Amino acid sequence: MQIVGVMKSETINKLKISANAAKYDVSCASSGSNRANKGKGIGNASPWGICHSFTEDGRCVSLMKLMLTNYCIYDCAYCANRKSNDIQRTTFAVKEVVDLTIEFYRRNYIEGLFLSSGVINNPDYTMERMVRVARDLRVNHNYNGYIHLKSIPGASDDLQQKAGLYADRLSVNIEIASEPNLKMLAPDKNFSSILEPMDTIKTKIIENKEERRKFKHAKSFSPSGQSTQLIVGATPDTDQSILTLAGSLYRNKYLKRVYYSGFIPVNSYDKRLPTLTEPPLKRENRLYQTDWLFRFYNYRIDEIVNEDHPNLDLEIDPKLSYALRNPWLYPIDINKASYELILRVPGIGVLSAKKIVLARRYGKLGLINLKKIGVVLKRAKYFITCNELKSPTINELLPQNVRQIILSEKQAKRKLKTNNTQLSLFTTT
């Protein structure tokens, strides 16, 4: 009983400080790994990932995000944990993190652990302690749940190798999309110090895949790949430079995910940073939409952002924006066009496009069929023809008018909503 009491106040405090320090890391994905529960141990990793809660900011809570310590020898301008900040600091013992992970996991609070750390003493020292947590979970507790480890730039290859054997995913955060701006805000870092560990991880993942092809029982190395994070709005970098970097990371470093994090002014006293009234959440959202178009809709990055359009349109989504800029590609014939072309219709997602291709084998599709399939006709109707009388498309109406119609419909919908709430207030009083 006494021991429980002691653990209580101290651990609760540590947990709060550590979570508070780790919360700006947006990665929370627990998907992509298929680790089975071997020999009746604890847990497994489900390939599609599971969210277990949602905080008031609307973000999903899947992994327990902790910093092993929030002490740090670096002084990066955008980071809440920079060494010059006078904040509460704490360091976990390896066993504390292991116990918390196991106890939370057993109660179905979490899918697993996301562990990062401030850099203390030197990169190897820091990374070694993180690897110990992962090793203890896997080896001593037979824990098969998800583990995401943040790789510490500058740590030895040997430690990266060990980390990858215990973790489901490794990540190295780039944070700032261009090197001069990175150097200005984080004088201790440069691109090569970040890209080098990425390359090491990439090589090991490829080697490991080859090895597992030959030897079925070879241990997997970071089976859920690697990811990174880019801060948006802390520097004047354009969406074009952010997305071009992201695209090349996907292509050349085989990253599984690039995360975008709207800059939250944690160190407003630092004059190198812009003053923002609120975090650029809309822009962040548009970047994610473009990321999706790139990964699941077969768009090239330069089709969405380029020299003529270096920044994303905040009023409308990037897919609609692309369609309005390229009216000659439309209308697309739903009953004849290829899957790839149907994917380019605003208002039709991956699932609807697949259903259309399957369903049209049974007969020609009209508007009612499309609606049942789940197509958002309010948008799609300007960009398609189907088994129906012809209605005006983008070519007759002209792009700027379609844009106006869609925007005003959006506004009207919002207005209707506020009117309704006012009305119900009125009737109940």
At its nearest, how many Å lie between other proteins and the CB of residue 364? 9
State in angstroms the smallest separation of the CB of 62 from other proteins.
Answer: 9
**Rounded to the nearest whole angstrom, what is the least distance from the CB of residue 64 to other proteins in the complex?**
7
| For other proteins, the closer CB: 165 or 359 | 359
The smaller minimum CB distance to other proteins, of residues 44 and 178, is found at 44
Q: Measured from the CB atom, is 53 or 404 closer to other proteins?
A: 53
- CB-nearer residue toward other proteins: 183 or 354: 354
CB of 196 to other proteins, least distance (A): 31
Least spacing, CB of residue 281 vs other proteins, in Å: 7
* Cβ partners under 8 Å of residue 4, min gap 6: none
Residue 42 or 316 with smaller CB distance to other proteins: 42
Give dist(CA 167, CA 148) in Å, integer. 6
Contacting positions for other proteins (CB under 8 A) = 1, 4, 7-8, 11-12, 15-17, 19-20, 22-24, 36-37, 40-44, 46, 50-61, 64-65, 100, 103-104, 106-109, 142, 262, 264, 278-279, 281, 355, 358-359, 361-363, 365, 368-369, 372-373
Nearer to other proteins, 256 or 355 (CB): 355
Q: How far is the CB of 199 from other proteins (least distance, A)?
A: 31
The smaller minimum CB distance to other proteins, of residues 103 and 207, is found at 103
* CB-based contacts of 302, cutoff 8 Å, min separation 6: 244
Compute the least distance from the CB of residue 50 to other proteins, in Å: 6
Minimal distance in Å, beta carbon 327 to other proteins? Answer: 29
The nearer residue to other proteins, 5 or 236, going by C-beta atoms, is 5
